[in-house]
Structure 1
Amino acid sequence: MDHHAPRNWLPHERPSLPGSPSTPLHPTPKRLAYALVGLLVALTGGLGNALVVANLPYLQGALGATTAEMAWLPAAYVMTNVSMNLLLVKFRQQYGLRAFTEVFLVLYALVTFGHLFVNDLGSAIAVRAAHGMVGAALSSLGLYYMIQAFPAKWRMKALVLGLGTSQLALPLARLFSEDLLQIAEWRGLYLFELGMALASLGCVFMLKLPPGDRFKTFEKLDFLTFALLAGGVALLCAVLSLGRIDWWLEAPWIGVASAGSIVLIMAGLAIEHNRSNPMLMTRWLGSGVMIRLALAVILIRMVLTEQSTGAVGLLQILNLSSQQMHSLYVVMLLGSVAGLATSALTINPSHLLMPLIISLALMATGSVMDSFSTNLTRPENMYLSQFLLAFGGTFFLGPTMVLGTRNVLTNPRNLVSFSVLFGICQNLGGLIGAALLGTFQIAREKFHSSHIVERLTLTDPQVLSRVQGSSASYASSIADPSARMTQGIRSLAAAATREANVMAYNDVFMLIAVIAMLTMLWIFIRSLWLLSTTKTVAPAPASPTSVPSSGASSS
């Protein structure tokens, strides 16, 4: 069975799971170097997509594409990123970590270099898809480097920091990407990305990860399962990304893709369910514990889309440029960093549900605060609410990961299943959130618009004086009185649309708050129930709490 005979590890060096590196004792300067490389690699992986997401409107002009066509760029990234975890874990186990790191970083640099020669939409989408594959490898690579930087007793803190670093990519990208665009338009973004990829490559070649055990893991059926599941998930991502743009019930391809995704995913799961040596443990994934964990991650990610879809969307409707939102992006970044640091400092294996409740409470508070926005709302009015949302968004990550890894450590064969589950829930939660909130915003805007327009008649003296006031402002430039009147009516219609949009966004913020509160209530009731049942059965033994800290270096 063994591809390479496992080495004789010292107790503290033993890799906690197949495919992860050994953990020898390092001198302090080397630990610091591992931490810095981990930070660089994780940010490189995250920024690849974040730079594109933060600058879609600018890239749209450069590529001469429609909004619907541009939505394929982030969608292509997620399509490939989600399913790559299926193969990546086994690749690490069979070919070793060094091959994994070097192959994928060289690929990443080549793909980014290819980006510089992209001049049309088709090739841009292909490059994003390639980036999705490689980006999935970089996030786990950053995690492994971070684990080397901390002694065994702080392994969970390393897990939190390694996981959370890539979450800082989007607020970072929003902060400085405008300067990159000024250097060389969209090529400025890709030149920066190429620089990051090459810097990571150099660092990884200079500071290698310690070796791990290697096993022969791939089987022929794995590739059939991968093809079916990757195809199904890709179709599902396409539907979620473009549903609200092409509209759910209007574009025929959405129905076909939805049906196709269900058939492919079910076929892939059916093969795995009946295999003697499956890649995905379907029975374990279908257990109550894992379904609850998956649901919690998806719901929290949905709430988190308040920042990208909600607050930023509202301010763009109010015609604020990204330069004017600069200070708000700084606040979001500070909130994310604070949430990450607090989580790393306070994570406790015996109280893993508490951080989830706290982060949902913070996000619900932030959303309620945002739901009182008006057309006079400016970034400074959203500092506190967005800080709370950003804080909650990184504060929950570590504990959810540790909750899952507990179940992996009892049976390492579940590692592939858990990696895939966590990756899919993170990505699909974000897509479902954006799709749901975007659709809800459009529906509410139509509702509010019809109500406002119903009351706007020129027989109403207030409406008439408003139109006359607007048309009078065009007196110096338009001589014809009827043309001036038309212009006045147009400006009133624009104001009505803006008000309807603001009201719709307030409804969205309220919906997010409700989802956050219901999720929080569910987790709270669940934790009370667990507490009462464990107390009535027997006092909980101390051993499970020490399991994750001794080897939570999974994923």
Structure 2
Amino acid sequence: MTTSLPAPAPAYPVGIRRWIIVLTAVTAAIMELIDTSIVNVGLTDIAGSLGATIEDAAWVVTSYGIANVIVIPMTGFLQRYFGRKNYYIASIILFTLASYGCGVAPDLWTLVFFRFLQGVGGGALLSTSQGLMFDAFPPKQRAVASALFGLGIVLGPTFGPTLGGYIIDNFHWSWMFYINIPVGIAATFLSLSFIDKKADEYDIDRKAISIDWTGILLLAVSVGSLQYVLERGESDDWFDDEVIRYLTGAVILALPLFIWWQLRGTKSPVLDLRVLKNRNLAIGSVLMFIVGYGLFTSVLLYPLMVQRVAGFTATKTGQLLIPGGAIAAICFPLVGRILSKGVSPRYVVMAGYVFFAAFCFLMSTYTADTTDGYYIQALLIRGVGLAFVNVPLINSSVSGLKPQELPAGISFTNMMRQLGGAFGVAITNTYVAQRVAYHRVGLVSNITPDNPLATDRINGMTQTLTAKGMNALDAVGGAYRTLELAVQKQSLLLAYLDTFRLAGLFFVVSFPLLFLLRSVKMDAATAKAAADAAH
């Protein structure tokens, strides 16, 4: 009679080796996320340098987002097929080479092409980094690993505009891409030297892995088209644009087919949607969509508000983000320790929701004369909120899944966060445009000869211009032009305040869903499998 020996305990890296892996994984994730927002502040410079319009230059942002949202849900399959280490290193190399291509691009559409390739590589960096982090820690310490990785999720989009603004104010826009090259080279060598292959990566039988080509095609068409419609809808007048109409039709056709195919049409789906039968994952995905909406909306709205209304420079706009990023850095390890002590992630997420809603409503009370300190105060609240939301929500969403279900579950939550961000950008652009028009009508209606305040304002500005040597007729025209600029500025401010208020309402309305999350503790097998899953 023979007895089977227990499987040897996995050997976890220790000391400097562990922290090199942590640094490599977090840096790669931050680098990818920075590139989702770093170019936003440089579109004007890019358009001017390459002889393009702002509308065409927006493709530099759109192409990256489309590539990201297509690749992220596919990473579980791609890791199984190529091996996680090989796929990770190849993605770093692709991201680095594409960054160089972006920097030297001679025209806009070459830049857009390399940005798409950058997004393909970047989606993999974000999606594999947490698996590497989990492999570096034993199960009892994986809450700390999640916290460290969650720090990267927040710091990337937060510091993207900061870094982009500094580069635009002091260097050529191409350095927004060149800065990735030394980081990418270092990450490649560190990954080759310190990241080990998993046991099942040494002898991958690719012939035994079925490739769901139909699913991949339907996923690319449905999700890519949806991302395009959300990002370009407002600038292209939504359904007045022929391309938007065609791509909306593609989403309507391809998305149901993709869902049917993944549930019924294939035994090896590229994204196993059957995991959504798990209540925590289904609810958590909706909540992750809201978090993505809040994160990307705040990243978009804050710079626009302080630069266009308060008149801050791009560099100052970024500097005000630093305290909020610092408090997030402090809070993430704290959240990890709270979770490791057995506190239910649901209660931590609730606290994060309260903080983030407070940030939105506080920002909705500011004026054009609000000082730096008040913005820092609001951004500190935002940093705490994001730290308390991201990691616990990911853990709570996947904690009830079986080990083999984790790759699909985690990929789905990532996709929902990215789509939430795209939805946030789309609804923000549309809502701001509508509210600007609404408030302008209300403000202009008060500028009448019967309104003594408006008359006094115009007379005062006319006298000031006349005193500076302008003739009476030109002075009156100048006064009205100055008043028009003031109306535009006030309309923008009121529209931004309305949009922050709307973002806060999204968190308030979705808050009851948190009570539906079950408090499920991740067992040892599932925790181990999380190391094998894409983030």
Same fold (TM over 0.5): yes
Q: CA deviation at 1:54?
A: 4.3
After superposition, where does 1:531-542 map in structure 2 within 5 Å? none
Residue 438 of structure 2: aligned partner: 447
Contact 1:68/1:242, CA 8 A, preserved across alignment: no
- Closer, same or farther: CA 83–381 of 1 in aligned 2, 3 Å: same
Residue 161 of structure 1: aligned partner: 148
Question: Matches of 2:157 and 2:280 in 1, distance apart?
Answer: 31
Residue 125 of structure 1: aligned partner: 112
Q: Deviations over 1:280-329 (max 9, x none)?
A: 32333355443212111111222233421332221122132113324312
The one of 356, 369, 392 aligned to 2:362? 369
DSSP 3-state at the match of 1:388: helix
After superposition, where does 1:311-322 map in structure 2 within 5 Å? 311-318=302-309, 319-322=311-314
- Scaled by the length of structure 2, the TM-score of the pair is 0.90
Residue 520 of structure 1: aligned partner: 511
Q: CA deviation at 1:502?
A: 1.4
Contact 2:75/2:124, CA 8 A, preserved across alignment: yes
The one of 383, 389, 397 aligned to 2:376? 383
Asked if 1:336 corresponds to 2:314, the answer is: no
After superposition, where does 1:75-474 map in structure 2 within 5 Å? 75-181=62-168, 184-214=171-201, 215-216=204-205, 222-274=212-264, 275-285=266-276, 288-318=279-309, 319-348=311-340, 351-408=344-401, 410-412=402-404, 414-474=405-465
The one of 477, 488, 512 aligned to 2:479? 488
After superposition, where does 1:496-511 map in structure 2 within 5 Å? 496-511=487-502
Question: Matches of 1:11 and 1:517 in 2, distance apart?
Answer: 48
Q: CA deviation at 1:427?
A: 0.5
Amino acid at match of 1:174: P
- Closer, same or farther: CA 548–273 of 1 in aligned 2, 3 Å: closer
Q: Deviations over 1:449-472 (max 9, x none)?
A: 111111101343322221122233
- Closer, same or farther: CA 522–39 of 1 in aligned 2, 3 Å: closer
Q: Deviations over 1:363-416 (max 9, x none)?
A: 1111121111112123322212121112212321212222233244x250x244
| Unaligned segments of structure 1, at least 5 residues | 1-7, 14-23, 532-539
Q: Deviations over 1:158-213 (max 9, x none)?
A: 12322431431232333333443456401222221112111211222222324331
Question: Matches of 1:289 and 1:51 in 2, distance apart?
Answer: 33
Contact 1:182/1:188, CA 8 A, preserved across alignment: no
Question: Matches of 1:103 and 1:436 in 2, distance apart?
Answer: 35
Amino acid at match of 1:140: S
Amino acid at match of 1:386: L
- Scaled by the length of structure 1, the TM-score of the pair is 0.87
| Unaligned segments of structure 2, at least 5 residues | none
Contact 1:406/1:547, CA 8 A, preserved across alignment: no
Pick which of 487-496 and 212-221 moved more.
Answer: 212-221
Pick which of 115-124 and 343-352 moved more.
Answer: 343-352
Amino acid at match of 2:489: R
Pick which of 543-552 and 164-173 moved more.
Answer: 543-552
Contact 1:328/1:382, CA 8 A, preserved across alignment: yes
DSSP 3-state at the match of 2:240: coil
Question: Matches of 1:86 and 1:451 in 2, distance apart?
Answer: 46
Amino acid at match of 2:43: L
Question: Matches of 1:42 and 1:241 in 2, distance apart?
Answer: 23
RMSD (CA atoms): 2.6
Contact 1:63/1:121, CA 8 A, preserved across alignment: yes
Contact 1:41/1:141, CA 8 A, preserved across alignment: no
DSSP 3-state at the match of 1:238: helix
Contact 2:74/2:271, CA 8 A, preserved across alignment: no
Question: Matches of 1:260 and 1:478 in 2, distance apart?
Answer: 62
DSSP 3-state at the match of 2:321: helix
Q: Deviations over 1:71-90 (max 9, x none)?
A: 22222112111121344322
- Closer, same or farther: CA 176–288 of 1 in aligned 2, 3 Å: closer
Contact 2:29/2:152, CA 8 A, preserved across alignment: yes
Amino acid at match of 2:108: L
Contact 1:359/1:393, CA 8 A, preserved across alignment: yes
- Closer, same or farther: CA 212–405 of 1 in aligned 2, 3 Å: farther
- Closer, same or farther: CA 9–30 of 1 in aligned 2, 3 Å: farther
Amino acid at match of 1:12: A
Contact 2:76/2:408, CA 8 A, preserved across alignment: no
Pick which of 127-136 and 147-156 moved more.
Answer: 147-156
Pick which of 125-134 and 398-407 moved more.
Answer: 398-407
Contact 2:272/2:408, CA 8 A, preserved across alignment: yes
- Closer, same or farther: CA 450–221 of 1 in aligned 2, 3 Å: same
Q: CA deviation at 1:350?
A: 5.6
Q: CA deviation at 1:429?
A: 0.6
Contact 2:103/2:175, CA 8 A, preserved across alignment: no
Q: CA deviation at 1:99?
A: 1.8
The number of aligned residues is 523
Question: Matches of 2:262 and 2:296 in 1, distance apart?
Answer: 33
Amino acid at match of 2:369: L
DSSP 3-state at the match of 1:324: helix
- Closer, same or farther: CA 445–286 of 1 in aligned 2, 3 Å: farther
Amino acid at match of 1:436: I
Question: Matches of 1:57 and 1:134 in 2, distance apart?
Answer: 26
Q: Deviations over 1:70-126 (max 9, x none)?
A: 322222112111121344322322332332233222222221221222122211111
- Closer, same or farther: CA 354–514 of 1 in aligned 2, 3 Å: same
DSSP 3-state at the match of 2:121: helix
- Closer, same or farther: CA 110–174 of 1 in aligned 2, 3 Å: same
- Closer, same or farther: CA 288–100 of 1 in aligned 2, 3 Å: same
Pick which of 448-457 and 46-55 moved more.
Answer: 46-55
Question: Matches of 2:152 and 2:267 in 1, distance apart?
Answer: 38
Contact 1:337/1:391, CA 8 A, preserved across alignment: no
Question: Matches of 1:478 and 1:225 in 2, distance apart?
Answer: 72
Contact 1:145/1:209, CA 8 A, preserved across alignment: no
Amino acid at match of 1:151: P
Question: Matches of 1:551 and 1:45 in 2, distance apart?
Answer: 24
Q: CA deviation at 1:219?
A: 5.3
Contact 2:85/2:196, CA 8 A, preserved across alignment: yes
Asked if 1:70 corresponds to 2:57, the answer is: yes
Q: CA deviation at 1:485?
A: 0.7
